[in-house]
């Protein structure tokens, strides 16, 4: 079944996830959707110093929004902020140094941030694909820590603050790669079997989609969205998937193309009319499973995922 899923997914990707796929989809976009003034609205973007996160932060700053950049590396974050401010002429761009793979640090950041700030939109963009199984200092597999558990804690901890805002939203940057995976709730940190970084990443991205659906059902006051940015030419792709990048470079989307639907979901009035919990690609809600792929999990498996994450999250709460 995995061979079937991977084959169907790759052909789908060649048609839809590439630069030409974006250009075809963009013909039906309504330019007025992003002709918005975001002054007075506050946006948090994780992994905002490069790639899709930086492109997203730039577009929000261009439209007058307050941007909170969550980054791990202060030097790169400050350089990105300087560039974003220079291009947008918007001084309301703020850097916060947070390692999304450090659970205690994520909890502590939210506790401090929530005391003095408002937040309208959270954009969960930070991610990693590490090709060897490595553990964080807290004993969590690194891909799972950054992509899933860190995202879970940040979102869960910010929900009370988001509920105080007008038109609150959470946008999680997932990946079409999750279409190749069925949730394996009994092996979340790849403790069993041979480790495969690409598969671990795709599992994490499937987990993010399931969490988005669960949050949407639980918190009706907030719009939750997950999305696929397409295959974009980002530093992360160059580093984590060098052979894919080398073969596909001429067909990859730009960072701005990858960020387009993130910005649309985060900022457009049209997006707020969409049903919460859906998965988007090029400003359109799309299926979360390939045809005949047998990738759907049971409600019990999805409930178990949330329970396991809750237990792990509480373990690291200060």
Annotated active-site residue 201? The verdict is yes
Where are the extended beta strands (E) located within 63-206?
66-71, 93-97, 121-124, 169-173
β-sheet bridge partners, residue 66: 42
Question: How many whole angstroms separate alpha carbon 135 and alpha carbon 143?
Answer: 9
Q: Which of 4, 17, 22, 201 is catalytic?
A: 201
Q: Which of 240, 225, 261, 51 is nearest to 121 (CA)?
A: 225
Q: Which of 181, 171, 174 is nearest to 289 (CA)?
A: 181
End-to-end CA distance of the chain: give it in Å, rounded. Answer: 43
Question: How many whole angstroms separate alpha carbon 143 and alpha carbon 260?
Answer: 25
Count CB neighbours of 299 within 10 A.
Answer: 7
The answer to whether 276 and 216 have CB atoms below 8 angstroms apart is: yes
Q: Which residues are annotated as catalytic?
A: 201
């Amino acid at each position: 079944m995995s061979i079937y899923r991977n084959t169907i997914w790759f052909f789908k990707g060649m048609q839809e996830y590439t630069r030409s796929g974006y250009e075809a989809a963009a013909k039906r976009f309504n330019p007025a959707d992003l002709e918005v003034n975001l002054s007075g609205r506050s946006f948090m973007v994780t992994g905002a110093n490069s790639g899709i996160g930086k492109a997203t932060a730039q577009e929000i700053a261009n439209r007058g929004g307050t941007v909170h950049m969550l980054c791990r590396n202060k030097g790169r974050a400050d350089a990105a902020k300087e560039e974003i401010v220079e291009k947008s002429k918007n001084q309301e761009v703020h850097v916060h140094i947070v390692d999304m793979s450090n659970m205690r640090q994520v909890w502590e950041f939210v506790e401090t941030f929530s005391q003095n700030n408002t937040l309208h939109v959270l954009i969960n963009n930070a991610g990693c694909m590490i090709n060897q199984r490595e553990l964080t200092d807290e004993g969590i597999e690194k891909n799972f820590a950054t992509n899933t558990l860190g995202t879970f804690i940040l979102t869960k901890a910010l929900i009370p603050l988001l509920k105080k805002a007008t038109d609150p939203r959470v946008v999680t940057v997932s990946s079409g790669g999750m279409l190749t995976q069925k949730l394996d709730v009994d092996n979340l940190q790849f403790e069993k079997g041979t480790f495969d970084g690409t598969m671990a990443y795709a599992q994490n991205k499937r987990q993010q989609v399931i969490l988005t659906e669960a949050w949407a059902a639980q918190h009706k006051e907030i719009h939750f969205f997950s999305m696929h940015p397409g295959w974009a030419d980002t530093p992360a792709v160059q580093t984590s998937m060098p052979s894919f990048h080398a073969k596909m470079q001429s067909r990859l989307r730009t960072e701005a193309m990858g960020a387009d639907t993130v910005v649309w979901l985060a900022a457009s009035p049209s997006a707020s009319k969409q049903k919460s919990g859906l998965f988007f690609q090029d400003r359109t809600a799309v299926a979360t499973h390939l045809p005949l792929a047998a990738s759907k999990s049971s409600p019990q498996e999805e409930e178990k995922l949330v329970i396991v994450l809750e237990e792990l999250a509480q373990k690291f709460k200060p």
